[in-house]
A and B are shown apart, each in its own frame.
Chain A
Amino acid sequence: MSEWWTYTPADFLMFTPRVYVRLIERYNQDFWPLQLVFVAGMLAIMVLAVREVRFAKVALLPAFAVAWVFCAWQFLWLRYSTINWGATYATMAFSLQAGLLALLSLDPNHRIAVSRLRRYGGMALALFGLLVHPLLALLSTRSLAAAQTFGMMPDPTAISTLGTVLAIRGRRLLLLLPIPLLWCAFSGLILLAMEDRGAVVPLASIVVVAALLLVPGRSRNPPGNP
């Protein structure tokens, strides 16, 4: 792209906020009440995984993979790409992320992060994406009909994934961070261009992840592991 320095995020905004909001509303209507199934199902798996229930620990990453596939296929590919050709590339990235989640779920050596700050910070971020993010629609002067929920929409799915990955210990799990971080940056810029106050959420998520990454995943002297 020539003279790239003359471009601003607004130059890449291809649609009006009204079109975007209506797209989400119609998408939510098409699948209601699947949103509740995604949120409740993921919440249950997370809680049980924290309680060391074996099935939940095994199901955690595959459940995220399902959410990423659903976002890629139903939202990005079938809907968002009709108004934003960039979503075609995002579909590929989301599919890759789903593949990575499925692949890394085969590794049985994941543990909950021992560092309290990283563990609770990651969990808080994951729960934010799951439970609080849908309510942000109200801040953006939208109704809950345009709520963005985990498994259905990319933002809460990416944020919950980031939080969960941070709360788990496992060096290879860091491979799961780049795509959701890139999505948060992309989504934040689009929302900024739309002058949507919700832009702060994906952008702040990047900052939170960066801060938590500075915290070691394991304590210097983890219990039972001298």
Chain B
Amino acid sequence: MRFTRRSVLQGLALAASLPAMGRSPFAQPADALRKVIPSSHEEIPAIGLGTWITFNVGDDPVLKDECAAVIAAFFEGGGRLIDSSPMYGSSQPTIGYGLKNLGYPDRLFAAEKVWISDPASGPEQIEASRAYWGVEKFDLMQVHNLVSWEDHLPMLFEMKAKAQLRYVGITTSEGRRHREIESIMTSEPIDFVQLTYNILDREAEERILPLAQEKGIAVIINRPFRQGSLIRQLDDEPLPEWIAETGARSWAQFLLKFIVSHPAVTCAIPATTRVDHVRENLEAGGGVLPDETMRRRMVDYVEAL
């Protein structure tokens, strides 16, 4: 376990507040931000749950229970969208374990990926993923990292037409293949695009996010904390006082508010192994969203550190 100033302070705060409040100080926001999926006008909470690395715990019963507790807290806090991939090791069965413990919550928005170079094996992989999750069908199926997307997308559109899934998307991360992403967004009737965007990685602002708005494509944001390194980098820096007016009380909330306040962004998917962190993340979807002026101020502040 990694002890940081942030985790120790939060642990102390939690310990102090539990007797009085009976729950975490990062409680479910009553005014949780919801965003609209342009292709259907369905609303989903702006904070989702990623599972890369964090839910890959093998068959370790202790760690599986910890992940199940994270999933429970996620739904308790009003969360809906959980995202995974066949590439994420044992994350899929771990999600299935957590969902089964909760009796498969109705409001789950199941987002998965197809990740296989052989196009003929795509349906088989999707079925295996579905069995791991234990769900009837997925809400969203994305082509992971554009692997064989020319072949997988027609298959996914066909599944959507047969009501075997509700949305189709594509993914990338860390700024890779943005030209190709743009091309697919322009030429294919996809519902979602998933990519990396955070306060330091803002390349998507130039072309992809405006294009998503123009084309009516929902946007999922991965690596909001650069796999935790952004939080570790900022942990010892003072949180600016002026951010308090948005309701942000931690760097995690600062960073998430920056992301979901972009008008093109539909949902950010931070991953965590900790219940207090998932509550903290969900709370970032409440309060006041930074406006354009404050967003610029946030960028300037972080870049100056």
Contact = CB atoms under 8 A, between A and B. Distances in A.
Interface of A: 2-3, 6, 10-11, 13-16, 18-19, 22-23, 26, 79, 82-85
A23 B60 contact: yes
12 contacts: A2-B177, A6-B175, A6-B176, A14-B53, A14-B88, A15-B53, A15-B57, A16-B54, A22-B62, A82-B59, A82-B90, A83-B89
Given A15-B89, A16-B273, A22-B62, A83 B174 contact: no
Contact of B57 (A3, A13, A19): A19
Interface of B: 1, 53-54, 56-60, 62-63, 87-90, 174-177, 227, 273
Contacts of B60: 19, 22-23, 26
A56 B177 CA distance: 57
A156 B95 CA distance: 34
Contacts of A2: 176-177
Q: Which of A2, A10, A16, A85 has the most CB of B within 10 A?
A: A16
Nearest to B1: A18
Contact of B56 (A3, A19, A79): A19
Contacts of A10: 227
Nearest to B91: A14
B53 A13 contact: yes
Contact of B58 (A6, A11, A13, A79): A79
Closest 6 CB pairs of A and B: A82-B58, A83-B58, A15-B56, A83-B89, A14-B89, A3-B176
B56 to A, nearest CB: 5
B133 to A, nearest CB: 17
B62 A83 contact: no
B173 to A, nearest CB: 9
A103 to B, nearest CB: 33
A83 B176 contact: no
B212 to A, nearest CB: 21
Contacts of A23: 58, 60
